[in-house]
Structure 1
Amino acid sequence: MTQRPRRSPADAARGWLDRRANSRLLGRLAPNKEEARELAPIFAAAASAVGLSPLPPQERATLAMLRGLSVELPTGEGKTLVGAMAAAGLVARRRRVHVLTANDYLARRDATWMGPLFAALERSVGYVTADADPGARRAAYACDVVYVSVAEAGFDVLRDRLAVDAALRTGAVRDAVIIDEADAVLLDEARVPLVLAAEGALETNDAARDLAALASRLAPGLHYDRSPDHRTVHLTEAGLSEIEAAFPGSDLFDGDAELLVGVNAALHAEALLTRDVDYMVAGGRVWLISGSRGRVEKLQRWPDGLQAAVEAKESLTAEPRLEVLDQLVIGELVSMYDSVVGMSATLLGARTELEETYRMQVVQLPRPPPACAWTAPPSSSTRPNIATRCW
């Protein structure tokens, strides 16, 4: 018989505290009279306009989000419906709402799918995708609820900052935000900033090639150490000695600090970034790959010399140097909203980090017994045929 691995006392205590906190939050998830009156027309509109009768877990999740709690809902439990109902509830409180999605497809799909719900409540909904022109963006952001990918929402902030004419700005009001797949967006995707840049002069990368060759000769555990999560790497004393031997007379911590920056970029590219996992090479160029979605990010590049270091590692011709016009990290984007809630199927595991970094409270709803699942809308139909989950 296979024995379950024993948990450490610290893990057991942490699990007990998480369960206690979750029970305390769940215990308060009963609507008062005002909330019941507020939610009743929304739940009725979901049933009549979209063909989805909200079930008790979805109703509780909606209430939780309206109270400022972020919710873990397993895949297939109706996050799209819950997000739309929560958005409708916020609009009923005279809020302007952005629903941030992982990509353009989901922004378009969810806004179209949930559109009848908002129409039944006499609320407007729009979506923004990468191919939207300035007029379409302004029209979408004028709606009560806007579905937009995290990347497009961030790039619209950057474009608005640089627009010298008010007519060229999107007019986006960042009031309340609901984040789908919140742990991936706020933690995994937050490491790479969104960069708005213009092509500059073409530069040779001979120095980067030399540093890439040097980094490839360094041995892990001897010349450098990686963090357990493989997010950071640092030179050991032996590694620093190796660098100084390769560049006699250099002072890495004073006059040659720029050399140390280049070495660290080359080491990061060599030790932390893997081809076809973190990036791919196609058409003689390096393309970033989203760690959470597995998609190629055509609008993102690494900053601070890391892009050149990866190009040198792969023996590619240097891309034209980019003049960075502005950049934005996901945390800065999220901080622009007055209220933030999220949902995901794996949110509880990131509770501590989300609370510490974004001050988000996370609650996990009890899973009902498995029964029949409800299906996503077929892409070819404007009025989806939905099979509702039954308990």
Structure 2
Amino acid sequence: MWQKLAKSFFGSANDRYVKSLDKIVARINALEPQLADFSDDELKAQTAKFRLKLSEGKTLDDLLPEAFATVREASRRVLGMRHFDTQMVGGIVLHRGEIAEMKTGEGKTLVATLATYLNAIEGKGVHVVTVNDYLARRDAEWMGQLHRWLGLTVGVIVPNMPEHERRAAYAADITYATNNELGFDYLRDNMKQDRAQMVQRPFNFAIVDEVDSILIDEARTPLIISGPTEDKSDLYVAIDAVVKGLEEQYYEKDEKARNVQLTEEGVEEVERRLLAAGLLASDNLYDVENTLVVHHLDQAMRAVIMFKRDTDYIVKDDKVIIIDEFTGRMMDGRRWSNGLHQAVEAKEGVPIQPENQTLASITFQNYFRMYPKLAGMTGTAATEAAEFWDIYKLNVVEIPTNKPVARVDEQDEFYKNTTDKFQAIAKAIKEKNQIGQPVLVGTVSIEKSELLSEYLKKEGVKHAVLNARMHEQEAYIVAQAGRIGAVTIATNMAGRGTDIQLGGNVEFRIEEELRDLPDGPERDAAIERIKAEVAEEKARVIEAGGLFVLGTERHESRRIDNQLRGRSGRQGDPGLSRFYLCLEDDLLRIFGPDTLFAKMMNSNLEDGEAIGSKWLSKAIETAQKKVEARNYEMRKQVVQFDDVMNDQRKVIYEQRAEIMDAETVDDVVVSMRTDAINAIVAASCPPGSYPEQWDIEGLKAKLAEITGLQPPIDDWLQEDAVEPDMIEERIQELAAQKMEATTANIDPAIWKRVEKSVLLQQLDHHWKEHLATLDALRQVVFLRSYAQKQPLNEYKQEAFGLFEMMLDSIRESVTKVLMTSEFRIAEPPPMPVLPKLPQFMTGHIDPLTGDDDSNDGDGSEKQPALFGALGGPVMAQVPAGAMAGTVDPYRHMNVNRNAPCPCGSGSKYKHCHGAVA
């Protein structure tokens, strides 16, 4: 009570903080008249002036008022948009490395230009992170006009760009890119063999748009670069046939964890079926030799029982395509991990792609924490403020709206079952449609959107359906959702990135209707006509009550519901929002207090009757909070485990960078050889033991394998007072002599490159194997909790031991390759070709559930073998005779279909010379 009283009197901490920024905004506003008198050239010269001041010792904070005022004036001239004072507050918050929560329609894209410009003046690079490629391109082009006008360079990163274009984009003052592209480029850079091949430069400052979507929703799943393993299609198909025949009494399903467990009776039944199919090596399912079968059985059960077509995925062009649970988008090229995607492919009877092995991975948490300064903006962040601070040390600041919100948020309506609910929804939509009020309907799956579409067809209501099947028309459908009488059904509005304007979107109508009309008086007149029509239509929509947002059920996260609501009531427009719920909704069915709801709803409600209650709404919110807390724990667990790997990743990547930057690595090679030989001697001749206890035969065999040496150890043992140290020194001398003899006839410059290449290849090979081991360890370490042990602590200890073993293996491997290989200098080819990094599969995979949130175009197609015998990339081979006559030399090359075409066009091979005639 006292807290509420104090808050009403003094204001909240957020209100006081925002109010404290008013002084800075007043200083910015005071400069506006002066800058308005500047000519265009004088305004453009401000950038050079600011850079000079920075070189003289001024800080970015010192420059903020004048820089922000400059951007505002330039935006007015270039874009025709003047920043509101609330947008200035948002810009200051972003510059300070905080999260600006701004409602939909408040102009977050324009706000970002303020902090982006100020921080780009330093020339260290600013990354603006978006949730999809469409927004990255749009913002780079749209806001890029302003930045380029002020003398800054702007780049954009999209999938399948050539390396040289990526490098140029990262070298720009401001770079727009998706979170996935940034993360994958970081991983790819740290797999390259030469510093000149790397595309990114040191991190400086990042502004993350839709920060809750990227740093919260997608942060549960690490980014993974992987390569293919052997094909096991037959095994998937065989086990799928076994699982599809299982009756419900043989298993128990946990919908919260999306998991399935066999009962004791089920284990016996499955054993019988697998034995009959010849899939078990022994008659006990859980014998160690059946481990692989058990793994595939678990994934097949999840695929068949827990994963639903048109909700979790769709089948298109004989491919299983995942549907993003947050945005409803198709995620082409993204695949579930650990064999789950293959199990779903077997379930649906489509071609099964091979599994993949992890080559590099990182979580979004650890990627974005590498930026010295990080900021974000979204319409919904306050509900996750604790997590933002806990994981990223980011403070959430709620920015007041430019105009008061006029939207009315009505109470939820509850129904007994789905049929009653959808009938009521269809009736409500028809009523609004008859008075011309536009309706935006939010559903949680394709299945539900198509079901509602059927109800509306029966009512005779004209409508548009926006879901993963309608991905191509998405932007246009959303842009026109505010037109008079429009009814739009959408799977989810999170991150759509297109503003819904009452009366329609002028720009989209011009693009759609005047696409073929050339510039001239006729086009100008048509544009004025469209503007007048939109203004008239907007007035009619406002009179009808503005946009009506209707939610067909509550999402697990309150943020997603708030995002849907926020589509209505932009910039002071009127609006209405209401959610329709029933007992059969997933949230209530899985997480709600069943007995309470079931008794009350079934006993008190007649068919078709609705109930609205603050108490019921509160109960729903409590269920949502439970799910949010559970999901937070899952994300926290992912980052805790990745923190262990992150420490090791930093060591490996720093070592790689040092090797690439070094003029010569002979001191590293000598050190590795010394350590490897000392370890071999110590293992066979332990310090403090007697010579008769030493394993001399083992020592000889190991030395021959690793160094190729056959030292006269038996003769040394005849000497008095022989010690392990003496044996080590003599072997070291012999090894050094052998290396001198090996390199005597090799150009020192060539030998330096050989050493560096061997070091990098062995480092990458063993790091890849280490990642696979850690993946396996993470999956089984949770079983240790049954022995009253903390899984995370066990993982830390084991991972540290495995890392030390990996370093030992690297030392041995490098020593072995350099000391036992035969080096011959071949004639250089007439047209040397620089090796390129192979086209890897990229994924964004949840280690706990197998969910994948990444994008690699058509990355789901089969990839070629990644490495040759010595670990080098496989190069495209032109078939013999292909160069003769008029045959296209690029036509039949052995090139991955998704790789850039060797002709240099920049297109994928399958779209260029590899296209099917």
Q: Given the two structures, how large is their TM-score scaled by the length of structure 1?
A: 0.80
Map of 2:400 onto structure 1:
366
More strand by proportion, 1 or 2? 1
List runs of 5+ in structure 1 lacking aligned partners: 1-8
**Matches for 1:207-286 after TM superposition, within 5 Å:** 207=236, 209-210=238-239, 213-214=242-243, 217=246, 219=248, 223-227=252-256, 232-235=257-260, 239=263, 242-243=266-267, 245-247=269-271, 250=284, 252=286, 258-286=292-320
| TM-aligned CA deviation for residue 119 of structure 1 | 2.4
Contact 2:239 2:297 in 1 (8 A): no
One of 363, 382, 402 as aligned partner of 1:329: 363
Q: Which residue identity is paired with 2:271?
A: F
> Deviation of residue 272 (structure 1)?
4.4
Q: Equivalent residue of 1:154, what SS? A: helix
Instruction: Tell me by how many angstroms 1:326 deviates.
Output: 2.6
Give the Cα–Cα distance (whole angstroms) in 1 for the partners of residues 223 and 319 of structure 2.
19
How far residue 101 of structure 1 moved from its aligned partner, in angstroms, is: 0.9
Partner of 1:316: 350
- Does the CA-based 8 Å contact 1:265-1:306 persist in structure 2? yes
Query: Which stretch shows the higher mean deviation, 302-311 or 195-204?
Result: 195-204
Name the SS for the 2:233 alignment partner.
coil
Match of 2:211 in 1: 182
| Mean Cα deviation higher: 60-69 or 182-191 | 182-191
| TM score, norm. by length of structure 2 | 0.36
Q: Which moved more, 1:173-182 or 1:114-123?
A: 114-123
CA drift of 1:255 comes to 6.9
Selected match of 1:29 from 11, 17, 21: 21
Superposition pairs for residues 64-213 of structure 1, below 5 Å? 64-92=93-121, 95-207=124-236, 209-210=238-239, 213=242
**Could you tell me which amino acid in structure 1 is paired with residue 335 of structure 2?**
R
Q: Identify which of structures 1 and 2 has the higher relative contact order when contacts are C-alpha pairs closer than 8 Å and 6+ apart.
A: 1
User: 2:43 maps to what in 1?
Assistant: none
> Does 49-58 or 314-323 show the bigger shift?
314-323
Distance 2:345 2:22 in 1: 56
CA deviation vs aligned residue, 1:130-163 (integer Å, no higher than 9, x gap) = 1421111111100111001122212212221222
Going from structure 1 to structure 2, the CA distance change for 1:274 and 1:26 (only over 3 Å counts) comes to farther
Say whether the 8 Å CA contact 2:101–2:378 is kept in structure 1.
yes
Which has the higher mean CA deviation after the structures are superposed, 147-156 or 91-100?
Answer: 91-100
Secondary structure at the residue paired with 1:223? strand
Distance in 1 separating the partners of 2:340 and 2:65: 53
Query: Matches of 1:161 and 1:60 in 2, distance apart?
Result: 38
- Identify the range of structure 1 (102-111 vs 201-210) with the bigger mean alpha-carbon deviation: 201-210
SS in structure 1 at match of 2:351? coil
Say if 2:336 is the partner of 1:306.
no
Out of 249-258 and 176-185, give the one that drifted further: 249-258
Q: 1: distance between equivalents of 2:204 and 2:288?
A: 46
Q: What SS class does the counterpart of residue 99 from structure 2 fall into? A: strand
Structure 1 contact 193–329 (Cα < 8 Å) conserved: yes
Quote the residue 1:344 is aligned against. 378
Q: 1:356 to 1:193 in 2, by over 3 A?
A: same
CA distance in 1 between partners of 2:350 and 2:168 (Å) = 42
- Shift of residue 80 of structure 1? 0.8
Q: Distance in 2 between matches of 1:203 and 1:165?
A: 35
Given that 1:113 and 1:377 are in contact with CA atoms closer than 8 Å, whether structure 2 keeps it comes out as no
- SS of 1:210's partner is helix
The answer to whether the 8 A contact 2:243-2:304 is kept is no
Q: Unaligned 5+ residue runs, structure 2?
A: 28-61, 273-282, 407-499, 516-526, 536-570, 574-917
Please report how far the alpha carbon of residue 348 of structure 1 lies from its aligned counterpart in structure 2 after TM superposition. Answer: 2.2
Aligned AA (2:296): G
Query: Aligned Cα RMSD in Å?
Result: 3.8
- Give 2:433's aligned residue: none
Match of 2:626 in 1: none
> The residue matched to 1:163 in structure 2 has which SS?
coil
Paired AA for residue 68 in structure 1: G
Q: Are residues 252 and 203 of structure 1, via their aligned partners in 2, closer, same or farther at CA, if it must alter by over 3 Å?
A: closer
Per-residue deviation, 1:328: 3.5
- Aligned residue for 1:363, secondary structure, equals strand
Q: Which residue of 2 aligns with 1:4?
A: none
Corresponding position of 1:289? 323
Say which one has the larger Rg: 2
Residue-by-residue CA offset, 1:201-226 (whole Å, 9 max, x unaligned): 43224256525753774749971222
For 1:119, give the aligned amino acid: R
Q: Tell me how far 1:118 sits from its aligned partner.
A: 1.3
1:339-388 superposed Cα distances (whole Å, 9 cap, x missing partner): 2211112222332333333332212212223699796866969xx9999x
Distance 1:41 1:321, change over 3 A: same
Q: What SS class does the counterpart of residue 77 from structure 1 fall into?
A: coil
The structure in which a higher percent of residues are helix is: 2
State the alpha-carbon separation in 2 of the partners of residues 132 and 329 from structure 1. 23
